[in-house]
Amino acid sequence: MAIIPQMSLFTWKEIEILGDLDRLRLVLDYMPDEAFMQNLEKKRGKGRNDYPVRAMWNSILAGIVFQHESIEKLRRELSRNGQLREMCGFEGQVPTSYAYTRFLKSLIRDEEMMDKMFETLVEQLLERLPDFGKRLAIDSKAISSFSKHPNKHETKDGRRRDLDANHSQKVYSGVTKEGNPWQKVVKWFGYKLHLVVDATYELPVTFKVTKASESDITEGHKLLEQMEEKQPKLLKTAETMAGDRGYDDTKLITKLWDTYKIKPIIDIRNMWKDPDKTRLLPGKENVVYNYKRNRILRMP
Higher pLDDT: 298 or 187? It is 187
Query: What is the per-residue pLDDT for 154?
Result: 61
What's the pLDDT band for 91 if we cut at 50, 70, 90?
confident
Tens-place pLDDT, residues 238-283: 999 999 988 999 999 999 999 999 999 998 877 666 656 666 666 6
The arithmetic mean of pLDDT across residues 153-166, rounded, is 67
The arithmetic mean of pLDDT across residues 282-299, rounded, is 63
Q: Is the pLDDT of residue 100 over 90?
A: yes
The arithmetic mean of pLDDT across residues 10-24, rounded, is 72
Query: What is the per-residue pLDDT for 278?
Result: 61
The angle at the Cα of 213, spanning 197 to 169, to the nearest 5 degrees, equals 90
- CA 53/CA 60 separation, integer angstroms: 11
Query: What is the per-residue pLDDT for 5?
Result: 46
Closest CA to 268 of 284, 252, 286: 252
Higher pLDDT: 104 or 295? It is 104
Tens-place pLDDT, residues 38-84: 999 998 887 677 899 999 999 999 999 999 989 999 999 999 999 99
Tens-place pLDDT, residues 162-195: 778 899 998 887 777 776 778 899 899 999 999 9
38-67 b/e (C-beta count within 10 Å ≥ 16 → b): eebeeeeeeeeeebbbbbbbbbbebbebbe
Torsion of CA 19, 20, 22, 25, to 10 degrees: 170
- CA 97/CA 110 separation, integer angstroms: 20
Q: Is the pLDDT of residue 87 over 90?
A: yes
Query: What share of the chain has pLDDT > 90, as a percent?
Result: 61
What residue type is assigned to position 120 of the chain? T
- CA 235/CA 168 separation, integer angstroms: 31
User: Which span out of 144-148, 155-159, 227-231 was modeled with the highest average pLDDT?
Assistant: 227-231
